[in-house]
Structure 1
Amino acid sequence: MPHHITNRRRSYKTETKSFFWEGLNASTYIIGALCFVVGSVFFLPMYQQYSAAAAWLFIIGSAVYLMVVVHDFIELTIHYRRNKRHGRKTMLEFLTSIGYVIASVLFLVGSVCFLPSVFKEAWGAWCFIIGSALFAFGAAISVTQITRAGTLIGLQLLNAVAICFVMGSVLFLIPSIPYLWPDDHSRLAEKLFTYLASQFIFASVLFLGGGVANFYRAYRMHRHHASDGHADSQAAHQAR
């Protein structure tokens, strides 16, 4: 699932551990993406006996994503309070972050609905559809806000992450719709759900790829900000 991405200097209460918190956020996201990749594989009809494991992996992955987006929301709140002049970009960041939190909650509830002991497939499908739409909308807004970055490679990585998040969200939305239809257990239905699970797998791989690229982007941007700060301190020292 997408989460908030930006090349601005992150606002944390402990500025000296800025990359620690951003790196922890990015690496935690990767763990959630891995849960969705494996869980999507278990959604294939040939692994129907592992349907409970698939649902539990989705629950764990959704819970991890929820922690990530809540962490993003807290950071954005700190940034919002520190910057008294709130421009359109800051407001859009804030609104998309709220949307991501709501979407992550929907995915968590939807994953619970797919547990064999619950099995509210239609409810789960609606949660996935609405959640995916919110994720896709938020990721698309993030793409429009990518106007600059500290370095060319930082801009390229940010674009790559955003594209992975948009495509992954759409690929989760579309195959969730047929889960609203009655299952007639025919051979055609088996092929259909194999195709749908394959889209879930591909979407989850895109999220994983986006998460890895985002971790590398955060590392490079941290080094860029650190070098800028070192250069500023040297210039101030020389001016004295």
Structure 2
Amino acid sequence: ALSSSHDQHADRIPLLPTLQVESIMPHLIIERLRAFPSFFTTGWPERKSSRFFTYLIEVLDIVAAVIFIGGSICFLPSYALHLPIFYFGCSLYIVGSIVYCVICLFTFGEALSSKGSYAYEVWENGLYLAGSVLFLVGSVLYIPPEEHVRAIHIIVSLGQVCDSFDYPQRQLVGTVLFIVGSVLFVLAAFTNLLSQQKADAWSARMLSAVTTCYMGGSLLFALGSVAFLPHLGCGEEMMALGAWCFIVGSALFLAGSMLSMWRTVAVLGSTEVAGLLTR
């Protein structure tokens, strides 16, 4: 049964979860066409330039952004107070984080095999990959221990979870990891924006728009996470503001991903590159 302290705190705003939108993660935007990493194509060199790999990255990026939008909505105070919705949001964040880690791992490997370990592009992709890993670890840290999960059937709200189980320290660590990951994304997007110089006018505008969306989303995630730091006494309004920062940030990532897909379709559909790609 729940302890008597739960009744004493019934009228207080419960501690809401730290959102680990590990997004919620964009990828590096480059002017050239992507190639399969060499360690995936050793036996198939003719697939080095591939429509499949190029479209796969864009599709996964869109899917992950949609997943994080759904997870962010689940963390609004009106929904997060209900334990099943809260855990569903946590699960969405973990799934989305894994997808982004896969995206960033592929783009990092592609840059490494195409440009070499000392190329500027490799380090930019490395920032995205590091941020994605931090987001994933932060999401996993927030999930209560297994023995606590088994006791969920006696708990009726998220507030009672936070009163019953002592895991604010894990929330704090997860939040810090999320903030650091968001900052890494901001730095990666900013350096990516500065390095885009050789594309034509339309492509340059598209690259700038995509990278700006990624940078804006990363900033919103870094700012919104402050509202979910434990022990700061943030009220429900502040937490709702933080959740909306994540929702809008996720929407910016989705917008950037859609623009990136539009640009990719236009580039791959041009007659100039048609002969360079495998069908």
Q: Normalising by structure 2, what TM-score?
A: 0.73
Q: Does the alignment pair 1:195 with 2:241?
A: yes
- Match of 1:96, as an amino acid? E
- Match of 1:216, as an amino acid? W
Inter-partner Cα distance in structure 2 for 1:176 and 1:112: 16
Q: Paired residue for 1:125?
A: 175
CA displacement 1:125-162 (0-9 Å, x = unmatched): 0111000000110000001011121x433222111100
Inter-partner Cα distance in structure 2 for 1:105 and 1:16: 27
Inter-partner Cα distance in structure 2 for 1:9 and 1:2: 17
Q: Paired residue for 2:134?
A: 106
Q: Paired residue for 1:26?
A: 58
4+ residue stretches of structure 1 with deviation over 6 A? none
Structure number having the greater helix percentage: 1
Contact 1:51 1:116 (C-alpha < 8 Å) held by counterparts: no
- Match of 1:227, as an amino acid? E
The structure with more radius of gyration: 2
2:104 to 53, 66, 69: 69
- State the secondary structure of the residue aligned to 2:119: helix
1:175 to 186, 201, 224: 224
Q: Paired residue for 1:234?
A: none
Inter-partner Cα distance in structure 1 for 2:275 and 2:230: 59
Instruction: Give unmatched runs, 5+ long, in structure 1.
Output: 232-240
Inter-partner Cα distance in structure 1 for 2:247 and 2:48: 38
Contact 2:35 2:54 (C-alpha < 8 Å) held by counterparts: no
Alignment root-mean-square deviation, CA: 2.1
CA apart distance, 1:17? 5.5
Q: Normalising by structure 1, what TM-score?
A: 0.84
Instruction: Give unmatched runs, 5+ long, in structure 2.
Output: 1-24, 147-166
Q: Paired residue for 2:208?
A: 159
- Match of 1:78, as an amino acid? S
Inter-partner Cα distance in structure 2 for 1:116 and 1:40: 19
Q: How many residues align?
A: 219
